[in-house]
Structure 1
Amino acid sequence: MINNKEIHTQFIKAESKRLGFLSCGISKAGFLEQEAPRLENWLKKQMNGQMSYMENNFDKRLDPTLLVEDSKSVISLLLNYYPSEIQNTDSYKISKYAYGQDYHFVIKDKLKELLFSIQSEIGDVSGRAFVDSAPVLDKAWAAKSGLGWIGKNSNLLTQKVGSFYFIAELIIDLDLEYDHAVTDHCGSCTACIDACPTEAIVAPYVVDGSKCISYFTIELKENIPLEMKGKFNEWAFGCDICQDVCPWNRFSKPHKEPLFNPNPELLSMSKKDWNEITEETFKAVFKNSPLKRTKFDGLKRNLNFLK
């Protein structure tokens, strides 16, 4: 006989599919035992660089029941952002996740709709939506929920669609049926480690965030260290190298989310266009884009560093 937990779980997974999510996995909310020593060690070695927010809310980061009162389940969701077209080859590069509109808003709307559907169908269910905006270990929960495994480049990988997707969560006070972790399929491959120009992947499964091109071009607020000159491979915002070389990304398929489609001007911009970009053009081309995070001055700093 089908029980309520099973009915509710099936409903949530069907709704997530209807809303355009790539996949949905569910875990029991609780303390992440395996992640605790890893996170502590990573912070101790200062691999977070100037990302001091990573040191805040250590306990909440490891236990969602401290973050959301009476939480029982962590619903992890993936949303594909792999583009159908990429920038022209004579261009400074930006991460593919930043081609379209800011994912925070796009996904938050979908999560709110999913929570509303759950409440309409099931009744009095409380919860909170998270998109990279609170102390939640997204990749750890997605892996625990069977959506993939954490690869040597520390990204969540799947055999079917690679790694070009966003991860988000809905943490709710409802008991559901829980999924199980999948096995690691990196094998003896070291493509990501070998390809990283700044040697940020310091050991398999360990990324020193303070050495990553994404960190330098987005998170770092001061001047980029001169010893990094010539190592950025033309990346002006973010970096996709460790994903581009991953064999599992052969299976990436273009997304179907219109809001992630790039401004056509972005795809045709040459290095000359980037170097001559004005604040006005920046605001027009990157309206509602993740690039707003680095601001016009930050982008100019990155571009000047690449010259």
Structure 2
Amino acid sequence: MSQNTIQSNVNKNTKVIKQIARRLGFDFCGISKATFLEEEAPKLEQWLNQKMHGTMHYMDNHFDKRLDPRKLVDGAKSVVSLIYNYFPNEDISQTSGFKIAKYAYGKDYHFVIKDKLRTFLSDIRETIGEVNGRAFVDSAPVMERVWAKRSGIGWIGKNSLLLNRNMGSFFFLAELVLDIDLISDGPIKDFCGSCSKCMDACPTDAIPEPYIVDASKCISYFTIELKEAIPEDFKGSFENWVFGCDICQDVCPWNRFSRPHHEDAFVPHEALKRLDKKEWTEMTREVFNEIFRKSAVKRTKYEGFKRNISFVSKNERAK
């Protein structure tokens, strides 16, 4: 096969993949070369050594796989990074008794997006031919924000989240790691400038310096990942967040460009919009299971959710 034919196939396959991404509702699709993340290795090692991952011991695992997607997919050549919007029509935190992160309003994104990625892989194989690849959505040792940055669909902000000039940061990231050559998109510049609003707004000082998040101090970590008692040192600082936290996103100037999603699966349960603090506090297991039946909130389980509400309520009264 001539070099011209090979390049023509690469161009055609790249175009096909971006067309499929649009058809499946992904807002942005970027591509980067599957290679070892040399620059990230010392950063990740230092972050882990400083215990900024708290009790998330799974972060210690698969260090080599986190840095090299070729260890996840044999013969991997390309990483396809995707953005899927979840910004809601209504900010429930403004009307409900307590606050949960916007990404958890509707059906668990792992299921919604994983289904789309299965279809994506199937469509690739139907259109291009036999392609070996795997789909990931926040459930494997993949440094998704780094790959997204490399693919040019955004830059990593000072709060460590990916930012996109057209839609801010209220979106999910997903990846396809494929064993075919594709045209890579180059990274874009960092548009955070001198802004430090995310750092200044964090009530637990979880962003000690730009681009570094101490997860062990993050409200999301305390309300989701931590399985033991929440340290009393942080009493009075949760600002009514009982599952996750959007503070560093809500204050980000780039999120003025956020637009409501069009995904029916992300629409919240009607009851969630109407709960007052008394109803949150007295929520039974049955009500919890009904309202959050398909939600990511179930990750914290009923006992963890009640612990979070109790911690916030108790320390709010103590203030």
Bin the TM-score by the shorter chain: over 0.9
Query: How far did 1:269 drift?
Result: 1.2
Distance 1:189 1:128 in 2: 37
Query: How far did 1:145 drift?
Result: 0.3
Q: Which residue of 1 aligns with 2:177?
A: 171
Is 1:267 aligned to residue 265 of structure 2? no
Q: Which is further off, 263-272 or 192-201?
A: 263-272
Query: How far did 1:90 drift?
Result: 4.7
- 207, 219, 230: which one pairs with 1:213? 219
- 53, 56, 63: which one pairs with 2:68? 63
Amino acid across the alignment from 2:65: K
Secondary structure in 1 matching 2:280: helix
- Aligned-pair identity (%): 59
Amino acid across the alignment from 1:302: N
Query: How far did 1:89 drift?
Result: 2.9
Q: Which residue of 1 aligns with 2:143?
A: 137
Query: How far did 1:86 drift?
Result: 1.7
Q: Which residue of 2 aligns with 1:256?
A: 262
Distance 2:191 2:279 in 1: 41
Amino acid across the alignment from 2:166: K
Secondary structure in 1 matching 2:82: strand
Preserved contact between residue 107 and residue 266 of structure 2 (Cα < 8 Å) = yes
Q: Which residue of 2 aligns with 1:110?
A: 116
Preserved contact between residue 96 and residue 273 of structure 2 (Cα < 8 Å) = no
Distance 2:148 2:164 in 1: 11
Q: Structure 2 regions of 5+ residues with no counterpart?
A: 314-319
Q: 1:239 to 1:173 in 2, by over 3 A?
A: same
Preserved contact between residue 41 and residue 67 of structure 2 (Cα < 8 Å) = yes
Distance 1:277 1:16 in 2: 40
Amino acid across the alignment from 2:152: G
Q: Structure 1 regions of 5+ residues with no counterpart?
A: none
Query: How far did 1:139 drift?
Result: 0.3
Is 1:78 aligned to residue 83 of structure 2? yes
Q: Which residue of 1 aligns with 2:36?
A: 31
Q: Which residue of 2 aligns with 1:126?
A: 132
Preserved contact between residue 206 and residue 215 of structure 2 (Cα < 8 Å) = yes
Q: CA RMSD in A?
A: 0.9
Distance 1:271 1:35 in 2: 43
Q: Which residue of 2 aligns with 1:187?
A: 193
Distance 1:273 1:299 in 2: 13
Distance 1:10 1:239 in 2: 37
Preserved contact between residue 22 and residue 77 of structure 1 (Cα < 8 Å) = yes
Query: How far did 1:43 drift?
Result: 0.3
Query: How far did 1:63 drift?
Result: 0.2
Map Cα deviations across residues 253-300 of structure 1 (whole Å, 9 max, x no partner).
000110011111111111111011100000100011001100000000
Distance 1:282 1:86 in 2: 20
Q: Which residue of 2 aligns with 1:304?
A: 310
Distance 2:67 2:35 in 1: 8
Length-normalised TM-score, structure 1: 0.99
Map Cα deviations across residues 16-36 of structure 1 (whole Å, 9 max, x no partner).
111011110011101011111
Q: Which residue of 2 aligns with 1:40?
A: 45
Is 1:22 aligned to residue 55 of structure 2? no
Tell me how many residue pairs correspond in the alignment: 307
Query: How far did 1:92 drift?
Result: 0.4
Amino acid across the alignment from 2:281: N
Superposed, which structure 2 residues align to 1:286-297 within 5 Å?
286-297=292-303
Runs (4+) of structure 1 exceeding 6 A deviation are none
Distance 2:39 2:217 in 1: 24
Secondary structure in 1 matching 2:230: coil
Preserved contact between residue 86 and residue 267 of structure 1 (Cα < 8 Å) = no
Is 1:243 aligned to residue 238 of structure 2? no
Distance 2:73 2:273 in 1: 41
